[in-house]
Structure 1
Amino acid sequence: MAEITWIKLKTDMFDNDKIKLIEALPDKDAIIVIWVKLLAAAGKANCNGYIMLTENIAMNIEEMATIFNRPLNTVRLAIDTFRRYGMIEMDDGDAIRIKNWDVHQNIEGMDRVKQLNAERNRKYRERKKQQALAAPKEPENTKSDVSVTSRMTLSDDTETDLDLDKDLDKDIDKDKDIQQTVGQSSVASQKLFTFFTTRLNRFASEQLREDINFYLETYNDADLIIEAFNRSLADGRVKVKEKYALGTLRNWKHEGVTSIQLLEQKEAQQLASNQGNNTKSDGYQANLGF
Structure 2
Amino acid sequence: MALKENKRYYWLQLKEEFFTSKEMKLLRRLPGGNEHTIIYLKIMLASLQDSGKIYFENLGHDLAEEISLLIDEDIEAVRMTLLFLTNKQLLTTKDKFEFQLEQVPELIGSETASTRRSRKYRELQKTLQCNTNATERNGEIDIEKEIDIELDVDDRKTTTDTNIQNYYQQRIGPLDGFQFQQLTEYVTSDGMEVDVVIRAITEAADNGKRNFKYILAILRNWKQNGIKTIVQVEDRERQRIEQKANSQQNGHNSQHQRTNVPIWSTEPVKTEQTTEGQAKLAELFAELEQMEKGED
TM-score bracket, normalised by the shorter chain, equals 0.3 to 0.5
Larger RCO of the pair (alpha carbons < 8 Å, separation 6+) = 1
Normalised TM-score (structure 1): 0.43
Normalised TM-score (structure 2): 0.42
Report which of the two structures shows the higher radius of gyration computed on alpha carbons.
2
